């Protein structure tokens, strides 16, 4: 009897315990539901922003399964067979097999959300005509920290072990991997910010049947960094962009005008913007296996600095090294194996730039009342823009302009202050170094002023490069009094395109077609008398111009290869020979 009583009490206790456990589990589940609803709302908001944030190019259509649930300690959203529409010049639909989004944690009192994503293994781009492009990803994942309120990213890391893109209709394919990409917005203790960005992909292989060509690229990488003195001003700019993107009821022109108006109210969102792109190990082969193009490396850099100071600067460079082309494309000795273009603008007044922005804002602001008021504002803005442009007073730099072929190499550095359009205060100078000058005629196709090469040979100064190889060197200057001088010789006449005076003596210089006549023959006879060899054919070609330059150099005259009055007198006082033959 006692045993039965004890058993009855035990059963009642177990029942009570089970009831309490069920109650607490039910309460816990009910407490978790708001988190699930909140997570779903945040994902819905992100999907809704796809269209505005891409200017309508990408829009969420839907999916077969869209489930949000708790998975252990994290919230999990599963999306299967997602569909997005592409509103591009070649519209279509992008299909993704499965995406998993996990909310790992919430930081900074819930203002930041840490996410982990499993990216789709298979994607399909289906164009309107039914053409399909298959994309396969292996080991694709992403981690992100986003702002809970705005959905904007603060940190992003994407890693893909390998990927392949196939276009079955044409036979085009690309494979690559590994690939990684990261970006971050870092708040500095000073109130400023920095934003490093890195991208790298290796092991690229491709085949293009249209060529038909295939090949490889060892590596493509991008490194960027932007920064500013005030994070709150950057946030204002980002918020303004979000609002403009969300308002798709206005035309792109109206939204651009509104953006300029907003931008004029934001102070110093950036101080530095820099991006560097690098490519290594490019090979292009024909279907027979012949190497058509081989390139060791290439790159470009863009940098803008000083927007938070009184003077800003812009610099851009592009270069390549180790280029080889198949003889069927270009003769070996003509291949530009190395090219560098590195130029910039410095000493840009930031106040003048702000004034210029204000002028653009006034000119594009659509909120004026009445056509006459709008026209008056535009005229005022134009005057303001011209005044701001005059205040810029930049310095232009050619940090390096270089090209190297097998037999010829050219390196140029230069800078210019002011503008030749407003000659007050304008000056420019540069230094040009040439390797293999005498081989330049072999490359003559399209070289500017090729007819003056013999003259430049006389003007140049022999020198050596740091590696000991011989160079012909030129120092160039330009100013309002002497628009172009080379090694202190005025060659402005080269750029004077006006016709010679009707009566003799005319200014003799290379032209197309060449100048002919008795005056040319007289110059050639005088050169021969001065023991300078030149053909007596009555044609003022590059060889005659070179001979004139040699005579000018020997007699302490301005070396230009142009027979001007001073050269004519020194050649023997030819007087005014009859002008027979003239131009062809």
Indicate the pLDDT class of residue 283, thresholds 50, 70 and 90. very high
HSE-up (13 A, CA, CB side) for residue 355: 17
- Confidence (pLDDT) at 579: 40
Determine the average pLDDT of the residues in 149-160. Answer: 88
Query: What gap in Å lies between CA 440 and CA 281, rounded to an integer?
Result: 29
Q: Are 388 and 360 within 8 A, CB to CB? A: no
At residue 32 the predicted structure's pLDDT band, cuts being 50, 70 and 90, is very low
Residue whose C-alpha is closest to residue 95's, from 58, 126, 136: 126
Residue 256 confidence (pLDDT) above 70: no
Contact predicate 580/518, CB 8 Å: yes
Give the single-character DSSP code of 514: P
**E-assigned strands of 326-368?**
338-349
250-264, 400-414, 437-451: range with highest mean pLDDT: 400-414
Residue 205 token pair: 């292989």
Q: 81-90, 301-310, 567-576: which has the minimum mean pLDDT?
A: 567-576
Question: Mind listing the pLDDT tens digit for each residue in 351-399?
Answer: 777 777 666 666 655 444 445 556 666 666 676 666 666 667 789 999 9
Question: What is the rounded average pLDDT for all residues in the chain?
Answer: 83
Q: What is the percent of the chain where pLDDT is above 90?
A: 52
Judge residue 424's burial from the number of C-beta atoms within 10 Å of its C-beta, 0-12 exposed, 13-18 middle, 19 or more buried.
exposed
Residue 584 has pLDDT above 80, yes or no: no
Output the pLDDT for position 255: 63
Q: Where are the domains of the chain?
A: 26-168+177-184, 423-570
Of 358, 324, 323, 359, residue with least CA distance to 338: 323
Q: How many whole angstroms separate alpha carbon 402 and alpha carbon 411?
A: 4
Query: Residue 417 contacts by C-beta under 8 Å, 6 or more apart in sequence?
Result: 393, 395, 396, 425, 426, 427, 428
Confidence of residue 46 (pLDDT cuts 50, 70, 90): confident
At residue 25, does pLDDT exceed 70? no
Is residue 446's pLDDT more than 70? no
Which residue matches tokens 């100013």? 479
- Residue 144: pLDDT band by 50, 70, 90 thresholds? very high
Residue 405 has a pLDDT of 94
* pLDDT tops 50 at residue 3: no
More confident residue, 379 or 545: 545
């Amino acid at each position: 009897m006692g045993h039965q009583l004890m058993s009855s009490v035990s059963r009642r206790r177990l029942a009570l315990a089970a009831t309490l456990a069920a109650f607490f589990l039910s309460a816990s589940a009910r407490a978790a539901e708001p988190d699930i609803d909140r997570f779903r709302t945040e994902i819905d908001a992100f999907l809704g922003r796809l269209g505005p944030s891409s200017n309508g190019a990408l829009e969420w259509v839907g999916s077969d399964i869209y489930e949000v649930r708790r998975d252990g300690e994290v919230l999990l959203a599963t999306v299967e067979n997602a569909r997005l529409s592409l509103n591009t010049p070649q519209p279509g639909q992008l299909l993704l097999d499965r995406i998993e989004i996990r909310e790992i944690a919430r930081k900074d009192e819930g203002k930041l959300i840490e996410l982990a994503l499993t990216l789709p293994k298979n994607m399909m781009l289906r164009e309107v005509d039914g053409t399909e492009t298959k994309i396969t990803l292996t080991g694709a994942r992403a981690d992100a920290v986003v702002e809970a309120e705005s959905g904007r990213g603060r940190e992003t890391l994407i890693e893909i072990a390998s990927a392949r893109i196939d276009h079955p209709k044409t036979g085009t394919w690309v494979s690559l991997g590994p690939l990684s990409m990261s970006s971050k917005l870092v708040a500095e203790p000073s109130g400023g910010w920095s934003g490093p960005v890195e991208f790298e992909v290796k092991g690229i292989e491709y085949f293009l049947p249209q060529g038909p060509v295939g090949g490889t690229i060892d590596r493509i990488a991008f490194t960027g960094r932007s920064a500013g003195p005030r994070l709150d001003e950057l946030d204002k700019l980002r918020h303004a962009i979000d609002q403009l993107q969300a308002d798709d009821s206005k035309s792109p022109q109206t939204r651009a005008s509104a953006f300029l108006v907003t931008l004029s109210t934001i102070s110093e969102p950036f101080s530095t913007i820099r991006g560097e792109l690098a490519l290594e190990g490019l090979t292009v082969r024909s279907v027979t296996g012949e190497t058509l193009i081989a390139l060791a490396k290439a790159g470009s850099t863009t940098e803008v600095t000083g927007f938070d100071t009184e003077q800003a600067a812009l610099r851009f460079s592009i270069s390549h090294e180790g280029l080889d082309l198949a003889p069927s494309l270009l003769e070996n000795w003509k291949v530009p194996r190395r090219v560098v273009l590195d130029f910039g603008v410095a000493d840009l007044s930031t106040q003048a730039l702000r004034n210029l922005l204000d002028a653009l804002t006034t000119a594009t602001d659509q909120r004026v009342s009445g056509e006459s008021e709008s026209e008056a504002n535009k005229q005022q803005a134009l005057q303001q823009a011209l005044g701001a442009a005059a205040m810029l007073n930049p310095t232009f730099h050619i940090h390096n302009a270089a090209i190297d072929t097998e037999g010829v190499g050219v390196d140029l550095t230069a800078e210019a202050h002011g503008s030749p359009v407003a000659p007050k205060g304008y000056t420019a100078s540069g230094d040009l170094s040439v390797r293999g000058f005498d081989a330049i005629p072999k490359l003559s196709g399209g070289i500017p002023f090729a007819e003056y090469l013999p003259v430049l040979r006389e003007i140049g100064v022999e020198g050596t490069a740091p590696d000991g190889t011989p160079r012909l060197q030129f120092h160039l200057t330009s100013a309002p009094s002497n628009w172009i001088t080379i090694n202190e010789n005025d060659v402005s006449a080269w750029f004077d395109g006006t016709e010679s005076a009707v009566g003799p003596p005319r200014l003799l210089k290379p032209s197309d077609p060449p100048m002919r006549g008795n005056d040319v023959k007289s110059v050639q006879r005088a050169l021969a008398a001065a023991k300078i060899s030149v053909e007596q054919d009555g044609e003022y070609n590059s060889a005659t111009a070179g001979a004139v330059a040699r005579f000018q150099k020997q007699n302490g005259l301005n070396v230009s290869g142009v027979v001007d009055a001073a050269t004519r007198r020194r050649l023997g006082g030819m007087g005014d020979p009859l002008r027979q033959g003239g131009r062809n």
